[in-house]
Amino acid sequence: MKIDVVIIGAGPGGYACAIRCSQVGLRTALVEEKKVGGVCLHWGCIPTKALYAATKLLHQAATAPEMGISFAPPAVDIPALAAWKDRVVETLAGGITTLLTKGGVAIYSSHAELEAPRRVRLATGETLEADRIVLATGSAPIEIPGFPFSDPAVWSSDDALALHEVPRRLVVIGGGVIGLELANIYRRLGSGVTVVELLPEILATLDLDRRTIAGLKRSLTAQGIRLLTGVKATGIARAKAPSDEVVVTTEGGEPLHADRVLVAVGRRPNSGGLGLDRVGLSPDRRGALAVDAGWRTAVDGIYAIGDLVAGPMLAHKATAEGVALADTFIGEPPTGFSAEEIPQAIFTDPEVASVGVSEKTAREQGIDILVGRFPYGALGKALGMREPDGFFQVVADAADHRVLGVQILGAEASDLIGEAAIAVRNRMSLESVAHTVHAHPTLPEGLQGAAEHALGRAIHTANR
Ligand code: NAI
């Protein structure tokens, strides 16, 4: 069958690209071998957020006596919690499938491989031909020596999110985004959690300032999560049968006894099994495909987006690329966004969110900057919510006051970063943020307060 666009992979990159392609009148096919919605919807962003919300409720109930409200100790029905999380996922998956179908996108449930530059072969035996092929196959958890995912004691993030059990002791290998989010969830479900991070600092691969990381570490430690940095997990030894216990051996630390070991040491682009060699494409050492500013690979008519190409492995980055790529297909200038404009949100409690450059990076780049901060403890809304911990930080160019970056550590940081993302993308000034009337009492007043502080005209906190 001859169509206009074939998209391989129906994650946030692929399905958004498909919807936009069909919107602009292109005959579009979307091929997915697992589930429409991809990792983000089924084994990533969405189930984590459902479990994050549920376990935050446990924490709020346990600490409510501070407000004069007491509950009986909560009982957690793990299968029921897992079923609720699955219902959230299925609702969204149904919505996406409806959007695709209504838009006229032809969905194929099959593995797909490139057969030739303009031809895709499906495992079902069908062949799709199109002048444009978009590769959006995402990424998969990295397996490390000594911790095979085939070992029932070793979990990938998929296993952790399946929520079949709550281990008494969980060792998390990797103090990155996935490791910390799941450490937080399992700690609140009752596991004793130890995080083992190879580098001297957690979240070291992100552009976050020391103060932000230090604040997060304080909160996670206070919740009983043990954070071991500068320690390499090297393998697993089995304790004596019939116990399920394993011992994680380390370099730079003590052996760690555990019932389950979650490996979250990063993800690798899914570039294998795609038939790349048949069309003359080869991924780099990390498995990523090189593309130009229009997401074109080295082969005419073949494009790649999302986790398969360079940049942060984030759903919203993949979606933005998918939509922008579809626009280029009809000759619209690409919407265009720089790496700095892509916000990042980490769903630990407290949350961490950032956009633009950190204070450290701005200084390293030799930019003369203004920095302003505002504490959650000075926000009436935050105190009423019992969320006094954390702060807003804004970094701006001292010459023209343009907002270069924002970091937020605290409640709802993931939602609050939206306003900051608008400011960074649109090159807005500190004055634009500071002089915008913000509703009171609300959390976004914190960003306004940080901008006022940077300008030396803070009203609700002391100026330096
Ligand atoms: P990551 O790269 O964020 O963190 C992995 C960590 O594991 C690194 O700090 C690394 O130093 C450490 N490590 C590697 N080998 C080790 C060993 N042998 N022993 C101890 N530590 C070791 O990767 P992660 O957390 O797996 O996430 C993968 C991707 O998914 C990231 O790019 C992340 O941005 C994305 N993601 C984003 C989310 C969000 O935005 N909320 C949520 C989940 C994932």
d(C-alpha 136, C-alpha 458), whole Å: 46
pLDDT at 334: 74
pLDDT exceeds 90 at position 336: no
Q: Where are the domains of the chain?
A: 2-140+268-339, 154-265, 350-454
Residues in CB range of 118: below 8 A, 6 or more apart:
129, 130, 131, 133, 301
- CATH architecture label of 154-265: 3-Layer(bba) Sandwich (3.50)
Residues 99-138: pLDDT tens digits? Answer: 999 999 999 999 999 999 999 999 999 999 999 999 999 9
Q: Is 345 in the pocket of ligand 1 (CB under 6 A)?
A: yes
**Which ligand 1 atom is nearest residue 202's CA?**
9
- CA 78 to centroid of ligand 1, rounded, Å: 26
Which protein residue's CA is at the shortest distance from atom 2 of ligand 1?
Answer: 266
* pLDDT > 70: percent of the chain: 99
Measure the CA–CA gap between 106 and 18, rounded to whole angstroms.
Answer: 9
pLDDT of the residue at 335 = 74
Name the catalytic one among 257, 435, 438, 440.
Answer: 440
Atom 31 of ligand 1, nearest CA residue: 313
- CB of residue 342 inside a 6 A radius of ligand 1: no
In this prediction, residue 175 carries a pLDDT of: 98
Whether 67 has a pLDDT exceeding 80, the answer reads yes
Distance 335 CA to ligand 1 centre (A): 29
CATH of 350-454, one of 1.20.1640.10, 3.30.390.30, 3.40.640.10, 3.50.50.60: 3.30.390.30
Give me the half-sphere count of Cα atoms (radius 13 Å) on the Cβ side of residue 320. Answer: 15
The Cα–Cα gap between 8 and 12 comes to 12
Tell me, using a 6 A CB cutoff, whether residue 288 lines ligand 1. no
- Residue scoring higher pLDDT (52 or 242): 52
What is the arithmetic mean of pLDDT over 167-190?
Answer: 98
Residues whose CB is less than 8 angstroms from the CB of residue 362 and which lie 6 or more positions away in sequence, other chains included: 369, 395, 404, 405
**Alpha carbon nearest to ligand 1 atom 35, residue:** 313
pLDDT score, position 49: 97
238 C-alpha to center of ligand 1: Å? 26
pLDDT band with cut points at 50, 70 and 90 for residue 426: very high
Q: Which residue has the tokens 């079902």?
A: 124
Alpha-carbon distance of 132 to 57, in angstroms, equals 47
CATH architecture for the domain at 2-140+268-339: 3-Layer(bba) Sandwich (3.50)
Ligand 1 mean position to 263 CA, how many Å? 9
Q: Per-residue pLDDT for 47 more than 70?
A: yes
Model confidence at 443: pLDDT above 90: yes
Tell me the per-residue pLDDT of 186-233, one tens digit each, with 9 for 90 and over: 999 999 999 999 999 999 999 999 999 999 999 999 999 999 999 999
Cα–ligand 1 centroid distance for 27 (angstroms): 37
Q: What is the 58 CA–ligand 1 centroid distance (Å)?
A: 26
Q: State the pTM of this model.
A: 0.96
The domains spanning 2-140+268-339 and 350-454 adopt the same CATH topology: no
- C-beta of 197 in contact with ligand 1 (< 6 A): yes
Residue 39 in contact with ligand 1 by CB distance below 6 A: no
Whether 440 is catalytic is yes
Asked if pLDDT for residue 241 goes beyond 90, the answer is no
Compute CA distances 13 → 121, 274, 305, 309, whole Å: 21, 17, 7, 11
Residue from 45, 172, 177 whose mutation best tests the ligand 1 pocket (most atoms within 8 A of CB): 177
What is the chain's mean pLDDT, rounded?
96
Predicted confidence (pLDDT) at residue 1 exceeds the cutoff of 70 = no
